[in-house]
Amino acid sequence: MLWNRYESDRPFLNMYAEEHFETGSGITDPEALKNEILKIERDMQGEPHALIKAKAFAFVLEHAAIEVNPHCWFGVNLAGMRFGGSPKGIRYRNANSGGKAAKPLKVLCEKWQRELYADMPDSVRAAMEGIDETGAGSFWMDYDHSVPDWDAVLRYGFPGLKERAAEYRRAAGSLTERQKVYFDSIEITCQALITFMRRLADSAQRRRNDDERMALRESCLRHLADGAPGNIYEAMQLIYLFHLIQQYLEAVQARSFGDLDRLLYPYYLKDIDEGTFTREQVKELLQYLFVQYDYQNHPYNQPMSIGGADREGRPIANELSDVICDAYYDADIVNLKIFVCLVRDTPDRLLKKTLRQVRSGRGSYVYMNLDKAPEIMSRSRKRKVEAWQVGTWGCFSYNVKGGDPDCLHTRLNMAKPIELALNGGFDPRTGILFGPQTPPAEAINTFADFKQAFYTQFDALLDRMIAISDFYDAHLPEVNPAPMDSATLAWSLSAARDVFEYGVTNVNCSCIGTAADSLAAVRKYVYTLGKVTLPELRDALKANWKGYEKLRLEIGRDGEKYGNDVDSVDELFAEVIDHADAYLQRPNKRNLSYQLGAASIDYHIRYGEKTGATPDGRFAGEPLSKNLGASIGKDRTGITALIRSATKFDSVKIPASGVLDFLLHPSAVRGEEGLDAFAGVIRSYFAAGGYAMQGNVTDAATLRDAQKHPEKYEGLQIRVTGWNWRFNDMTEDYQNEVIHRLEGVD
């Protein structure tokens, strides 16, 4: 029996927690593979890193042990890879990974990055100093936010990508040494992928007796070794394998599968018409595909999208969109997340289907405004971008399909310039002189002077992030060249330049709501009402409000907070965005420019732990404001007021990311009328120019009960930020953060 097996097969689909490689198929020991990779690097010392990495890539695909899971239509494993991770906020540790993902070729990236750090300029080292210790922000070399050109992947397959690169090489004529290396590394990489497909097909052939579907798997894999996919099953298998290898071997995260309902729809129509597969069989295939990502345990969910618009501007909401949503729900998984890309004419049918799942407590969805996106991306990319060209990636961000990658090396905590302005550049928790020495609180006589000190500290933080990003951008193609990803992108092939040599660089300014509320509180209570002097407020914050409890309550309960449609504070929020946007209008080191993001993801909790009390009434160590939302308990006048606050700035100024989180009580969205109202919330935000929206439908009492009786809520999912987790898997502090937002705790 080939079909109706998902539930019976499911206990055997997790091939990653307990590895069972085919006997005699190759090296199984990760350390042995690591040593072989480093030997290749030593033997090729002095040669370009792209060639070294390509040779190591080919070695692993040829010599690492493999497994083709007979219980699955898709599952493949390759020795040396370790899946998942143990991010902050989650209880479990993946048994296979020991809590940390492993990518065999990352040993090269890490070695080359260490060598780079050894010669780091003093100015960059100084920029990095104290950032983590003070909680002022975060930095890392980011090669984890790329998206291959999925149209090219499906159109050409591995053999076609190899031949296309050869055609670009021939057309280029005389090549520089760097260009020769570029094309050589792509040729080695693509040939290794073709050979690997044949290895997998041979394995499936040897195991034909293990399951009747193995003959079909063998046929699929052989076809992919020889050309492009011919049906929807082969297309899904190619997407799965391309993602698996790019993300876990090439060590470049493929941060979206693309718009799957558009990409797969031509195969779907052909297969249904020719009787190759039925609708229900396609749904079952999707369930097997999707569950792989639950078992791979991607810590922040693997993204894909549905919806959007075609080249004529018509909404994409086809039969396959529905099949994808149904398969996703019935697979009963957490880890895959779906961007729902909406235009004005997207049928409510599709929107409501996804909202029903969110309402039920199952479904990791984020809603994206494809009416606003072309304007956002056109400004970002300095050229006209149409709706059909807009793609999505990461937690909740836009890109251009087949375009250059974004890099997000740095993120900063917007509460930190408030602290530094109050303390003359000193971080009060650590005592470090971290920012420029602005005037002490005793010498700041007007709100204009305080705001100037705030922006001086903010600009100095931005300068640090730009210095770090410039350093990483300049060396990214050297540390992690990406021939597999590059082979999919026509612009990269045309220029004969690695994918990481061109693109925008993002700087995320997190927790702006806390900064706006703090500025408003200083203006009102120090300079307008005169209820406290600035030195007294500084001392109150250092004491974590001890001895100033009455003042803290008054400030905390004051309705002049971002998220309540109060112009005086919303204008401060918009002013911070305008300032950062203007400051970042400069070229980067990857031949494009910088751009602003305004997302926190879960850093509002991480940064909050290292941030002292703030003038808005918040205690030290507590979470800061989240994404484009209000601080905990401060948006007290409903979702409509929150939307108005969050649309008083132009979202074209935050092209890197910006999402508004909602928390709705189940009673507000009950029944069909409630579902209409729920859809209306999304539509209203987008009509006003909002960037993206996500959230939860739940209540504090339910979550409190879930803490006491977790066995009753095993399936309950919570949208943490750009991802869902099962509530029972979350650590207590992350659970409480959601509960406190629902309760409006001061």
Encode pLDDT of 252-272 as tens digits: 999 999 999 999 999 999 999
Asked if 71 and 234 count as a contact pair (C-beta separation under 8 A), the reply is no
Asked if 158 and 165 count as a contact pair (C-beta separation under 8 A), the reply is no
Mean pLDDT along residues 60-74: 97
Asked if 594 and 671 count as a contact pair (C-beta separation under 8 A), the reply is no
**pLDDT over threshold 90, residue 444:** yes
Distance from C-alpha of 595 to C-alpha of 657, rounded to nearest angstrom = 10
Mean pLDDT along residues 606-633: 97
Distance from C-alpha of 258 to C-alpha of 262, rounded to nearest angstrom = 9
Distance from C-alpha of 13 to C-alpha of 299, rounded to nearest angstrom = 19
Residues 6 or more apart in contact with residue 597 via CB below 8 angstroms: 397, 408, 506, 507, 508, 509, 654, 655, 656, 657, 658
H or E, element range at 564: none
**pLDDT over threshold 50, residue 735:** yes
Distance from C-alpha of 391 to C-alpha of 376, rounded to nearest angstrom = 12
pLDDT at 745: 55
Residues 6 or more apart in contact with residue 693 via CB below 8 angstroms: 366, 367, 659, 660, 661, 662, 681, 682, 685, 686
Handedness of CA 347, 351, 354, 356 (dihedral sign): negative
Nearest CA to 464 among 424, 419, 417, 514?
417
| CA distances from residue 176 to 186, 264, 539, 540 in whole angstroms, order as listed | 16, 39, 63, 64
Q: Which of 31-45, 86-100, 262-276, 322-336 has the lowest mean pLDDT?
A: 86-100
Q: Which of 123-127, 180-184, 297-301 has the lowest mean pLDDT?
A: 297-301
* AA identity, residue 744: G
**pLDDT over threshold 50, residue 95:** no
pLDDT in tens, 512-548: 999 999 999 999 999 999 999 999 999 999 999 999 9
**pLDDT over threshold 60, residue 299:** yes
Mean pLDDT along residues 272-285: 98
> Residue 485: what are its φ and ψ, rounded to 5°?
-65, -45
**pLDDT over threshold 60, residue 656:** yes
pLDDT band at 82 (very low <50, low <70, confident <90, very high): confident
Residues for the chain: how many in total? 746
H or E, element range at 49: helix 49-63
pLDDT at 98: 44
Distance from C-alpha of 362 to C-alpha of 358, rounded to nearest angstrom = 6
Distance from C-alpha of 296 to C-alpha of 324, rounded to nearest angstrom = 20
Nearest CA to 396 among 316, 301, 332?
301
Q: Which residue has the tokens 């006589």?
A: 445
Mean pLDDT along residues 649-669: 97
pLDDT in tens, 604-615: 999 999 999 999
**pLDDT over threshold 80, residue 171:** yes
Nearest CA to 660 among 683, 703, 636, 630?
630
**pLDDT over threshold 50, residue 170:** yes
Mean pLDDT along residues 707-731: 92
Q: How far apart are the first and last CA of the chain?
A: 59
Give the residues across from 399 on adjacent strands. 391
**pLDDT over threshold 70, residue 99:** no
**pLDDT over threshold 50, residue 483:** yes
Residues 6 or more apart in contact with residue 630 via CB below 8 angstroms: 513, 561, 562, 563, 564, 642, 645
pLDDT at 92: 62
pLDDT at 488: 98
Nearest CA to 696 among 718, 721, 670, 726?
718
Q: Which of 83-87, 123-127, 222-226, 368-372 has the lowest mean pLDDT?
A: 83-87
pLDDT at 418: 98
Residues 6 or more apart in contact with residue 272 via CB below 8 angstroms: 278, 279, 282
**pLDDT over threshold 80, residue 230:** yes
Q: Which residue has the tokens 């969109």?
A: 321
Q: What is the mean pLDDT of the chain?
A: 95
Residues 6 or more apart in contact with residue 558 via CB below 8 angstroms: 521, 524, 617
Asked if 336 and 719 count as a contact pair (C-beta separation under 8 A), the reply is no
pLDDT band at 498 (very low <50, low <70, confident <90, very high): very high
pLDDT at 17: 81
Mean pLDDT along residues 215-240: 98
**pLDDT over threshold 80, residue 688:** yes
pLDDT band at 586 (very low <50, low <70, confident <90, very high): very high
